[in-house]
Amino acid sequence: MIFDPQIKIPATYMRGGTSKGVFFRLQDLPKSAQIPGKARDQLLLRIIGSPDPYGKQIDGMGGATSSTSKTVIISKSNKVDHDVDYLFGQVSIDKAFVDWTGNCGNLTAAVGSFAIANGLIDKAKIPKQGNAIVRIWQANINKTIVAKIPITNGEVQETGDFELDGVTFPAAEIEIEFIDPAEEGESALFPTGNLVDELPLPKEIVSQGKLKATFITAGIPTMFVNAADIGYSGIELQSDINNDSQALERFEKLRAYGAMKMGLINQIEEATTRQHTPKIAFVSPPKKYLASSGKEVKSENIDLVVRALSMGKLHHAMMGTAAVAIATAAAIPGTLVNLATGGGNRESVIFGHPSGILKVGAHAEEHNGKWLVKKVIMSRSARILMEGNIYVPNQAFGD
């Protein structure tokens, strides 16, 4: 039998924050994959190496973790006052599924750099020295993100001394602003209308049959619970959670009930088709612990500790979009996140995660009893790891 040869597609492999992904210009994809649908999903699955029953993604670009099984498609924007459209696809490792329901905050840090390097930004907007301001339309969630990209001699400056816990080597600092990050609507920031809910649950999930939770949509739909209420200290590392199949199953059930409460799904079973959102995280007051690198995190240097799961596993650091949710919830008195910090008003928060600490700022306002978040600011870094062509069997998507 004769098989068609592989095709090659221009691509860039980039690190953004604590994630890695394969970046494409929309115009470089095969025609059938330039529009949403089966052909695009099949192409990205094959490029990343999914679905892989071995869970390793050996035959693709994925790294067998939620942080490294990611794809990004960038194009010039037709939106007023925006430079590029950014579409993010979270590729499942063991299932034939690409989740388009949310953003990746970490890879957001790489979008501006990729756009400049690939000729998607007007050269008049790129200074000789200083920062290029790239206005990004996040097409998954229809939100504006502003990235400040450091420029030296008219080119993106990637090297520097900015250190980000969860990333081994320093790089140039990129400031990111998430503008109006909550969903639209009267009760959009808190979809249940409450800062804290009592979530009814089957007793096989929690023995008390209910659980306090804060549901918020800033950055990404997220469900926060108290670590102590589910039997954890809050300073667990990946091995403590990800090696426990019963714990992972329990978290997934919790997440499914949270998705129902947030109105994201209509039936519990639908959670399997919405793996990227909502996120589930557990919080605790500040505690001393050793990060995964062996570095000591001192309780006096943080406001609280947070652990979050992504695609069914405890994240090795913190998802950027979840950091937006954390900062927003911390800024609003009465949420579980705010109470874990000790309560009160705040415009920034320093939280501990499995790889270290992260500071995020949020500007929230109360109007007529309703909370609004105007913007969330954080610093990340990004750099090109490799650029060239991705090779993929033509039969993978039938172009």
Q: Residue 155 — φ and ψ, nearest 5°?
A: -125, 155
Tell me the pairing of strands 348-353 and 304-310.
Answer: parallel
**Residue 336 amino acid letter:** L
Which amino acid would we find at residue 73? I
Catalytic residue among 14, 61, 104, 378: 104
The residue assigned the tokens 């094959």 is 46
Q: Count other Cβ atoms within 10 Å, centred on residue 296.
A: 11
Quick count: other Cβ atoms within 10 Å of Cβ 56?
Answer: 14
Q: Are strands 210-216 and 19-25 parallel, antiparallel or unpaired?
A: unpaired
Out of 14, 223, 319, 378, the active site residue is 319
Give the span between the Cα atoms of 33 and 9, in whole angstroms.
Answer: 11
For this structure, is 104 an active site residue?
yes
The whole-angstrom distance between residue 223's C-alpha and the CA centroid of its chain comes to: 14
Task: Report the C-alpha gap between 393 and 26 in whole angstroms.
Answer: 19
Q: Residue type at 40? A: R
The span from the CA of 299 to the CA of 306, in Å, is: 13
Q: Both tokens of residue 127? A: 């200074």
Cis peptide before 181 (omega within 30 of 0): no
Angstrom CA distances, 169 to 15, 38, 162, 173, 394, stand at 12, 38, 9, 12, 37
Task: Using DSSP bridges, classify how beta strands 222-226 and 98-99 pair: parallel, antiparallel or unpaired.
Answer: unpaired
Q: How far is CA 123 from the centre of its chain?
A: 29
What does the block give as tokens for 287? Answer: 């505690």
b/e sequence 149-171, b meaning 16+ C-beta within 10 Å: bbbeeeebbbeeeeebbbbeeeb
Among all residues, which ones are annotated catalytic?
Answer: 104, 319
